[in-house]
Chains A and B, each alone.
Chain A
Amino acid sequence: MQLVADHLQKKFGAITAVAGVSFAARPGEVLGLLGPNGAGKSTTISMLAGLTKPDSGSVTIDGVTLGTGADPTKRRLGLVTQEIALLEELPARMNLEFFGGLYGLAGHALAARIAAVLELTSLADRAGDPPNEFSGGMRRRLNIACALLHEPQILLLDEPTVGVDPQSRNAIFETIEVLAGEGRTLIYTTHYMEEVERLCDRIVIIDHGKVLADDTLAGLLASAPVANKLTLTYDLPPDGAALAEITGLPGVIQVDLAGTALSVSATDLGTAAPRVLERLAARGFSCQELTSRRSNLEDVFLALTGRTLRDT
């Protein structure tokens, strides 16, 4: 199923939380909504889930406009909330019975779905225990399982890995990959660029309630004015003539010097690194240390907003 957000706008008093957000998520695709805290991701998710009515714009699922309240179109959606919304004192199985019941599931159909989601989230052996006896990662997995009982074709995951250990995070990633492999549409919000880089087929970058970019990872890296970075530390600071020569090399975008540390931004590290080392060695400068870093979403975000994701 395809979900389309069309010019969504939402204000809370004088504050504009979402200002004309548009994108489309296709079946089998994991769409990442990336942005810092307060960017408008959760409000957008609320509108996508039919919890909050947009001031203007619309959400459609396969062409059918999504409403709030008892709109039956909501049956096609599953929401994994940012908060772990579970009945902490009741066993995991009773939690699943409850959330399945909310979507009208009962009897054998409910039992079969509970078995399936417990298997998918690797919680079958802990079904009789209450979540307040679970680890953070297990509680997160149960939180996801509760949203899958009614077999939604579109899954909205609002920061589903907050506060979990790396092992549990990987388990959650595997679950998400399985769901995407089944042809479901997944919309995944986070402010962790590493998660987006690993999981998402397409990335929508949001800040101040607006879409700044909407592309694949490769497309974003290619289109944004960002570069790979080479950092070299010399015994003596290279002189002005050396810097001028390095700056003029093919593929070098920018050169900065801080003390004895030389920072070189280049479109292709494989080509630029040997040339820089060779020219400076010829001028008698001895390289003490060399590091390189490939450009990433953080750089894209920095280029688009002038800020880093973690600064905000």
Chain B
Amino acid sequence: MSPTLTAFKALVRKDIALFVRDRRALVVSVLTPIVVAAFFGFLFGGTGSGGNPISRMAVGITDLDDTALTQAVIESLTQDESLAIQVVPEDQARQLVKSGKLRAAIVFPAGFETAATGALVGLGQMPDIKLSYDPSQTMVRPMVAGLLTQHVMQRISRPNFIGSSKPAPFNLVNTAVTTGPRYNSYAHSFAGISIQFILFMGIDAGVTLLLMRQEGMWRRLRAAPLPRAVLLGSRVAGTTLISMMILAVVYLAACLIFGVRIAGSVPGFVMVAIAFSLLAATTGLMISALGRSVGATRGVAMFSVLILVMLGGAWVPSFLFPEWLQQVTEFVPTRWAVDGLDAMTWRGLPLQSAFMPTAILVGWSVLFAAIAVWRFNWEDD
């Protein structure tokens, strides 16, 4: 084996030995993402097997009409699994919405049944249903309006209200569509949270290099007859391997404890994992090249990673973002890491679906590495 390769191996082995030797840091590096991902996974629906009940929206109803139709609609709304209906007086309903205890309040006016059935066959004016809602819950208004329309139409179109009319001309059959198994929200949360914590580890690797400069270790490494590519390349290789180890252990826990499955391509999953680990390592290298003081560098880097992780959809799926922001996040590498891991786990997509995320992650890694090499200060110890 050539002396240079021996040196490269010694440098990589040293990084791994230091990581493994620090038992407390090792446990934190692995346990923290598992615990946080488990929490987020539980919040967003768990395994989807019915073990974690859906959170119902609290909605108040005031029935000023008190007729067979309004009572039937209220009964129908009460049976809807998305809603928690409370029948309350109008003033109280508004007060509960104001205080945040109800998400919305519906008021059926007096004469609703007569006016609504007449309007349905073209006689008279349409009645108004008042819908009050909490402005902080932007998704509530369209959801409640939709559900209300559905239930009113289902009831009003029955023969006992408009004689010869027929029930709604369709049945809505809901099917969760993935090519993989039943959706498991743990799969998404483990992808996002693993990415966050591995990027934190990448920052630590970068900051460690700054500390090595301060403590004279970097001088000592440079005293050896080694090319710069070996000194920097071994840092990237060591951090990449450590990232892959963390990902492997975290996903093993995800599979064994939380039922996450790599329902897509296993080679595709490995490809995305390697590409992302490389990204974490080159992020750390770039930080060590751009940073000066340890404290300031760590602070700025942590902030940047949190922004990247947030925009990448690691905390909240990116499809909930406004459309313009979704477009912006296509330029964020973490988005591709999350999407790539999602694709290979719960979405169950084939190997080809891993190519684009892998290529983009490798592209960003090359860019970060190039910046690191360009900006690295070799002489200032």
Instruction: Report which A residues bind B (CB closer than 8 A).
Output: 46, 49-53, 69-75, 77, 79, 81-87, 89-90, 94, 97-106, 146
Pair B225/A75 contact, Cβ less than 8 Å: yes
A-chain residues with CB within 8 Å of residue B226 when the two chains form the complex? 69-70, 102
- Verify B216–A104 contact, CB threshold 8 A: no
Q: Report the separation of the CA atoms of residues A85 and B216 in the bound assembly, to the nearest whole angstrom.
A: 5
Residue B22 lies at the interface, judged by CB distance under 8 Å to chain A: yes
* Complex Cα gap A71–B222 (Å): 11
Closest partner residue, chain A, to B229 (CB atom) = A70
Kindly list chain B residues whose C-beta atoms are within 8 Å of the C-beta of A81: 216, 219-220, 223
B222 touches A105 (CB 8 A): no
Contact of A71 among B6, B9, B225 (CB under 8 A): B225
Would you list 12 pairs from A and B whose C-beta atoms are within 8 A, ordered by A residue? A50-B223, A51-B219, A70-B227, A73-B225, A89-B22, A90-B17, A94-B17, A101-B9, A101-B13, A102-B11, A103-B224, A106-B1
A82-B6 in contact (CB<8A): no
CA–CA, A290 and B216, complex, Å: 48
A90–B227 touching, CB < 8 Å: no
| Chain B residues within an 8 Å CB radius of A79 | 219-220, 223
Contact of B224 among A74, A84, A106 (CB under 8 A): A74
Whether B227 and A52, one on each chain, are in contact in the complex, defined by CB atoms closer than 8 angstroms, is no
Q: Tell me which residues across on chain A come within 8 A of B4, comparing CB atoms.
A: 70, 104
Q: Which residues of A contact B310 (CB under 8 A)?
A: none
Across the interface, which residues of A come within 8 angstroms of B381, CB to CB?
46, 51
For A94, what are the chain B residues with a Cβ–Cβ distance below 8 Å?
A: 17
With both chains docked as a complex, state the minimum distance between the C-beta of A107 and any C-beta of chain B, in angstroms. 9
Nearest 7 interchain pairs by C-beta: A104-B3, A101-B10, A83-B216, A74-B225, A85-B216, A79-B223, A102-B224
Q: Is the CB of A51 within 8 A of B2?
A: no
Give CA–CA (A184, B219) in the complex, Å: 22
From A52, A74, A87, A97, contact of B18 by CB (8 A): A87
Write the chain A residue with the least CB distance to B14: A98
List, in ascending order, chain B residues with CB within 8 A of A146's CB: 220
Closest B residue by C-beta to A67: B225
Main secondary structure of the interface of A (DSSP, over half): loop
User: Which residues of chain B come closer than 8 Å to A89, judged between CB atoms?
Assistant: 18, 21-22
B7: Cβ under 8 A from any A Cβ:
yes
With a CB–CB cut-off of 8 A, which chain A residues contact B21?
89-90
Q: How far is the CA of A74 from the CA of B18 in the complex (A)?
A: 27
Contact partners of A50 in chain B: CB under 8 A? 223
Q: How many Å from the CB of B45 to the closest CB on chain A?
A: 42
| B149-185 interface with A by 8 A CB criterion | none
Query: With an 8 A cutoff between CB atoms, is B249 at the interface?
Result: no
Q: Is B91 in contact with chain A by the CB < 8 A criterion?
A: no
A90 to B10, CA, bound (A): 13
Is there contact, CB below 8 Å, between B10 and A102?
yes
Contacts of B7 in A (CB 8 A): 101-104
Contact call B379/A52, Cβ cutoff below 8 A: yes
Q: Which residue in chain A gives the minimum CB-CB distance to B1? A: A106
- Indicate if the CB atoms of A98 and B10 lie closer than 8 Å: yes
Q: Which residues of B contact A (CB under 8 A)?
A: 1-4, 6-7, 9-11, 13-14, 17-18, 21-22, 215-217, 219-228, 230, 379, 381
Chain B's closest residue to A73 (CB) is B225
Shortest distance between the CB of A141 and any CB in chain B (Å): 16
Bound: A72/B3 CA distance, A:
11
Of A73, A102, A104, which is within 8 A of B221 by CB?
Answer: A102
A85 touches B10 (CB 8 A): no
In the bound complex, what is the Cα–Cα distance between A79 and B381 (angstroms)?
15
- Residues B379 and A51 in contact, CB atoms below 8 Å apart: yes
Q: Is the CB of B223 within 8 A of A51?
A: yes
B1, A49: Cβ atoms closer than 8 Å: no
Question: Chain B residues with Cβ under 8 A from A99's Cβ?
Answer: 220
Instruction: List A contacts of B13 (CB < 8 A).
Output: 98, 101
CA of A73 to CA of B223 in the docked complex: distance in angstroms?
Answer: 11
- Residues of B contacting A77 in the complex (Cβ-Cβ under 8 angstroms): 223
Report A-chain residues with C-beta under 8 Å of the C-beta of B227.
69-70
Q: Which residues of A contact B2 (CB under 8 A)?
A: 104
B217 touches A85 (CB 8 A): yes
**Nearest opposing residue in chain A for B216, CB measure:** A83
CB distance from B134 to the nearest CB of A (A): 54
Question: What A residues does B221 contact at CB under 8 A?
Answer: 102
Contact, CB under 8 Å: A70 / B225: yes
Q: Report chain B residues within 8 Å CB of A51.
A: 219, 222-223, 379, 381
- Nearest A residue to B22 via CB reads A89
Q: Which residues of the other chain, A, contact B22 by a CB distance below 8 angstroms?
A: 89
Closest to B2 in A: A104
What residues on B are CB-neighbors of A74 within 8 Å?
223-225
A85 and B222 alpha carbons, distance in the complex (Å): 12
Chain A nearest CB, measured from B110 CB (Å): 78
Least distance between A228 CB and chain B CB atoms (Å): 41
Contact B220 A85 (CB under 8 A): yes
Cβ B17 vs Cβ A106 within 8 A = no
> CA–CA, A94 to B20, complex, Å?
14
Partner of B6, one of A85, A87, A106: A106
Known pairs A70-B225, A77-B223, A89-B18. 13 more at Cβ < 8 A? A52-B379, A53-B379, A70-B4, A73-B225, A82-B216, A83-B216, A84-B216, A99-B220, A100-B10, A102-B226, A104-B2, A104-B6, A106-B6
Chain B neighbourhood of A75, CB < 8 A: 225
Smallest beta-carbon distance A217→chain B, Å: 29
Instruction: Kindly list chain B residues whose C-beta atoms are within 8 Å of the C-beta of A69.
Output: 225-228
How long is the Cα–Cα vector from A161 to B21 in the complex, in angstroms?
29
Q: How far is A87 from B9 in the complex, measured between Cα atoms in Å?
A: 16
A83 touches B215 (CB 8 A): yes
A72 and B222 in contact (CB under 8 A), knowing A85-B215, A104-B2, A105-B6?
A: no
